[in-house]
Amino acid sequence: MSQVLKIKKVRSNVEKRRLAGVSVTTLLSVLSLLFFGFLNPGKDKTTFGFVLNNEWVLIKEWVISSQTGSRIFSLVAVAASVAAALAFRKGARIVLPTGIATFGIFMAFITWVASGKFIPFTGLLQGSLLLAVPLIFGSMSGLICERSGVINIAIEGQLLASAFVSGVVASLTHQSAWGLLAAPFAGASISLLLATFAIKFSVDQVILGFVINVFVIGFTSFLYKKLLVPYQASWNTAPTFSQLEIPLLSKIPIIGPIFFSQSVVVYLMFIIVGVITFALFKTKWGLRTRAIGEHPTAADTVGIDVNKLRFRNVVIAGLVAGIGGAYYTVGSVGAFGNEMTAGAGFIALAALIFGKWSPMGAVFAALLFGFADNLQSTLTIIGVGIPSEFMLMVPYIATIIAVTGLVGRVRAPAADGIPYRRGGAN
């Protein structure tokens, strides 16, 4: 018996990763407490502004000494880390406590960095959601493709092409609704290109996606300079959707202004995420889609036309990304700007990977990236002494930390990126 006990416990890879997660959050919590709370505390008071209602005049201010605030939030983080450690020992889920700890560290940092400043907290969250909207649409597009076994690096191209088309259509028709309707078709045509070359002609999908992006960036820039700049008055003055307030729900303090006082594109996003989640896990289509992404040969054996379903799914993914593209023009600023998606498609891809190819995971990852991005611009606006260039790096550094540290080795759908040929190797 004692012999057995002496054998060193072998940890599986999953356990190692969980342990790493717990250790890192604990370390960061303690560092946050030490640094923000004691060694280098903020000297002034931090003011948080909350919009309680959708009328902006009703602002509730919450003033706290920067030092005390940082200590409180850091302590919350430390406590949550301890809870995470206990949960790890019991073998329970650690997502919630580590999530709370991360939130605590973030808040401690904000309270520390904004010492003597005003943080529009509701605006911060609202802006985060808005920045996450195209990321979420993009990652849903990637999700549908990759769950069915086609790698989609062309999300950027899908977003940019549909942003362009929706902007132009809305300008020419003077109707934002037509722009929104046209956008999915633009996304789908990029998808057709992807699907044809990836599925019919078995082109390497990562290379293909990259080339499609180059093509779309070049083509939209060309048309932008040739058409949209010289004929701006008629071609690039897209009207935007006004905010649509949902009765009653929009009156809820804090949550109301963030979630229920948005443009129609944002509501579409809520619906589409829900539909995709349901369809992927509860319907025949979803089961088949996951089957062709994991084991196409088996799916073929039971009579599923693998390549036909893949083709269809890639096109559907283009439709979804298209709405995300429309968000850039008719959903927010109206006019199309050259290369206006600015790499959002790649962040969406990172969100998909960070979210481990699950709809909810991708949504939360996208929200996190949106938050990092918006925190950056908020802190730049209030001026916190960190050079703005470094603040601008934050979302990208966050992505790197996310794909390396927090998720570790994630597993993509097994047949992702492998063209299916009957009697082939897989």
Partner 1 sequence: MRKALSKFGQAIKLPGLSFFMAFTITGLIIAVSDAKVLAKFSSPFDFITSALASVGNAYLALFQGSVFDVNLIKDGSFFQGFYPLSETIVTATPLILTGLSVALAFKSGLFNIGAQGQFIFGAIGASYVGFNFELPIGIHILAAALTGAIFAAIWGGIVGILKARTGAHEVILTIMMNYIAAYFILWVLKTQAFLRPGRIDPIAPEVNENARLPLLAGPSFRLNFGIFIALAAALFVWWLLTKTTIGFKFRAVGANSQAAKTAGISVPFVITSTMMICGALAGLGGAVQVLGSEYALNTDIAGSFGFDAITVALLGRAQPLGTVFAALLFGALQAGGRTMQSNTGVPLDIVQVTQALIVLFIAAPAFVRYIFKIKKMNASAALTSKGWNG
Q: Would you say 76 or 150 has its CB closer to partner 1?
A: 150
**HEC readout, the chain:** CHHHHHCCCCCCHHHHHHHHHHHHHHHHHHHHHHHHHHHCCCCCEEEEEEECCCCCCCEEEEEEEHHHHHHHHHHHHHHHHHHHHHHHHHCCCCHHHHHHHHHHHHHHHHHHHCCCCEEEHHHHHHHHHHHHHHHHHHHHHHHHHHHCCCCCCCHHHHHHHHHHHHHHHHHHHCCHHHHHHHHHHHHHHHHHHHHHHHHHCCCCHHHHHHHHHHHHHHHHHHHHHHHHCCCHHHHCCCCCCCCEECCCHHHCCCHHHHHCEECHHHHHHHHHHHHHHHHHHHCHHHHHHHHHHHCHHHHHHCCCCHHHHHHHHHHHHHHHHHHHHHHHHHHHHCCCCCCCCCCHHHHHHHHHHHCCCCHHHHHHHHHHHHHHHHHHHHHHHHCCCCCHHHHHHHHHHHHHHHHHHHCCCCCCCCCCCCCCCCCCCC
Residue with Cβ nearer partner 1 (173 or 202): 202
Q: Which is nearer to partner 1, 27 or 86 (CB)?
A: 27
Residues facing residue 262 across a β-bridge: 244
**Minimum distance, C-beta of residue 216 to partner 1, in the bound complex (Å):** 8
Which range, of 75-83, 115-123, 317-325, 391-399, touches partner 1 by CB under 8 A?
Answer: 391-399
Contact string (CB under 8 A) for partner 1, positions 174-213, x = contact: -----------------------x--xxxxxxxxx-xxx-
Total of residues contacting partner 1 (CB under 8 A) = 53
Question: Which span (160-168, 243-251, 259-267, 410-418) binds partner 1, by CB under 8 A?
Answer: 410-418
Q: Are 338 and 227 in contact (CB under 8 A)?
A: no
Q: Is 412 in the site for partner 1 (CB under 8 A)?
A: yes
By CB under 8 A, is residue 226 in contact with partner 1?
yes
421 binds partner 1 per the rule CB under 8 A: no
Shortest Å, Cβ 161 to partner 1: 13
- Residue 86 engages partner 1 in binding (rule: CB under 8 A): no
Q: Which of residues 327-366 bind partner 1 (CB under 8 A)?
A: 343, 346, 349-350, 353
Nearest approach, Cβ of 147 to partner 1 (angstroms)? 12
The verdict on 14 binding partner 1 (CB under 8 A) reads no
Contact 352, 146 (CB under 8 A): yes
389 touching partner 1, by CB under 8 A: yes
By the rule CB under 8 A, 383 interacts with partner 1: no
- How many angstroms separate the CA atoms of 254 and 57, rounded? 13
Closer to partner 1 by Cβ: residue 74 or 152:
152
Single out the residue of 404, 422, 423, 425 in contact with partner 1 (rule: CB under 8 A): 404
Interface pick for partner 1 out of 57, 387, 423, 425 (rule CB under 8 A): 387
- Which one among 23, 65, 68, 221 touches partner 1, defined by CB under 8 A? 221
Contact assessment for residue 148 and residue 279, using Cβ atoms and an 8 Å cutoff: no
Which span (69-77, 246-254, 261-269, 397-405) binds partner 1, by CB under 8 A? 397-405
Choosing from 145, 153, 273, 340, the residue that interacts with partner 1 (CB under 8 A) is 153
Q: Is 386 in the site for partner 1 (CB under 8 A)?
A: no
Tell me if 408 contacts partner 1 by CB under 8 A. Answer: yes
Q: Work out how close the CB of 215 gets to partner 1 at its nearest, in angstroms, rounded to a whole number.
A: 4
Binding residues vs partner 1 (CB under 8 A): 146, 151, 153, 197, 200-208, 210-212, 214-215, 217-219, 221-223, 225-227, 343, 346, 349-350, 353, 387, 389-390, 392-393, 396-397, 399-400, 403-405, 408-412, 414, 416-418
